[in-house]
Amino acid sequence: MEVPYFAFRDFVPGVQQQLEQALVQMAKRGNFILGKEVHSFQKEFAAYLAEGTTAIGVGNGYDALVISLKALGIGIGDEVLMPSNSYMATVNAVLQVRAKPVLVEPDAYTYNLTAANAEKAITPKTKAMLPVHLYGQPCQMGELMQLAAKYKLRVLEDCAQAHGATFKDQKVGTFGDAAAFSFYPTKNLGAMGDGGAVVTNNIIIADFVQQYCNYGQKQKYIGELVGVNSRLDELQAAILRIKLQHLNQYNTERQRLAKVYLKELQSIGDLILPRTADNCNHVYHIFNIRTKYREALQNHLSKSGIGTAIHYPMPVHLQPAYTFLGYQSGDFPVAEELADTSLSLPLFPGMTEVEQESVIEVVKEFYNR
Ligand SMILES: *Cc1c(COP(=O)(O)O)cnc(C)c1O
């Protein structure tokens, strides 16, 4: 049986029709930039996250990171702490504002940035922390915010993989000074193209972002600051408004699928399954398992028609693009081990029971050979 690593099947009954209708309406309406859909989505997404917070749509998740860093005043010479096992976007955003990414070893169990490891990397130049809620698991925001207060650091949350995840019943994206969300199509809340948002409860940051992403204009044709063009597309906003109504349902479905994997794959071979830390509601953007036989298991699954992915095969500090940062092999043993052993199993809203059984069967078969 063929099981794709990912498929766009999050269209619970009626959603497909709603999406098509929205596309047709948009084509007729002809208001394509920063119209009613963007404004409504910004309000609705902010309300979904927390009372009193603001969401500003931008072009993509990367821009959300860059613009947030700019808004926080991070620039030349500033050091930004981030986990060494994140996606390249997080590092590149820091480099884009000409600040210095300072990599930190992730926690061996949650794979996230911890206060203890971050504290060891703090220098007089450290200006900000950039925790990434990796795979959909929230970082321990209590201890990270305490550390930030102690050293007067800014906090930017990378929420690209964790829409709707909570720490102590509070949504990620509402802890730090600002948060960056991506609506890349495969994310927990995905558009039909690129999209992103900056979330903040700081009015000064919100004002800056609003202007910066639209050429620095507050009023049309009056440039208050030198900005860029990174606007959330009106069409994508219309799509996101519809899908936001089902985000909790999609996340619950991801959690249900994860529970089945966790039950069925426990104590199989040398598999290390994801662990959810205290006070976290994990939304399983990615279901990551680990094994020292990663290549062989991936090949075995592939021969049986089961798609998998690797997040990520090479840690940031060993990527050719970042040799100038001066890191070496052996600098982050946990991140290196993760890169060598991680495998992501299919998990997406709409995945069928039969498909999941097939994945489980083939994994078990691999260890019983
Ligand atoms: C997807 C992702 C991004 C970037 O989002 P884009 O919308 O693709 O630019 C940033 N950080 C993390 C952790 C991501 O997974």
Which pLDDT band, with edges at 50, 70 and 90, does 342 fall under? very high
Single-letter code of the amino acid located at 61: G
- Are 347 and 117 in contact, with CB atoms under 8 Å apart? no
The residue contributing the CA closest to ligand 1 atom 10 is 89
What pTM value is reported for the model? 0.97
The CA 338 to ligand 1 mean position distance, Å, reads: 19
- Indicate the top mutation candidate among 87, 132, 133 to test ligand 1's pocket, ranked by most ligand atoms within 8 A of CB: 87
Q: Which atom of ligand 1 is nearest to the CA of 62?
A: 9
**What pLDDT digit, counting tens, does each position of 11-33 carry?**
777 888 999 999 999 889 888 99
**What pLDDT digit, counting tens, does each position of 147-202 carry?**
999 999 999 999 999 999 999 999 999 999 999 999 999 999 999 999 999 999 99
Domain with residues 247-367, CATH architecture = Alpha-Beta Complex (3.90)
User: What tokens does 116 get?
Assistant: 């203890």
Instruction: Write a three-state SS string for 201-249.
Output: CCHHHHHHHHHHCECCECCCCCECCCCCECCCEHHHHHHHHHHHCCHHH
CATH 3.40.640.10 for domain 15-104+111-244: yes
Model pLDDT, residue 369: 85
- Are 315 and 335 in contact, with CB atoms under 8 Å apart? yes
Look at residue 1 and tell me whether its pLDDT is greater than 90.
no
- Are 102 and 80 in contact, with CB atoms under 8 Å apart? yes
Domain boundaries, the chain: 15-104+111-244, 247-367
User: What tokens does 145 get?
Assistant: 């915010």
The CA 220 to ligand 1 mean position distance, Å, reads: 30
Q: How many whole angstroms separate alpha carbon 192 and alpha carbon 157?
A: 24
The residue contributing the CA closest to ligand 1 atom 1 is 160
The residue contributing the CA closest to ligand 1 atom 12 is 160
Residues 6+ apart with CB under 8 A from 320: none
**What pLDDT digit, counting tens, does each position of 79-109 carry?**
999 999 999 999 999 999 999 999 999 999 9
**83 membership: H or E segment, kind and range:** strand 79-83
- Are 285 and 188 in contact, with CB atoms under 8 Å apart? yes
Residues with CB under 6 A from ligand 1: 60-62, 86-87, 89-90, 132, 158, 160-161, 182, 184, 194, 196
- Are 306 and 78 in contact, with CB atoms under 8 Å apart? no
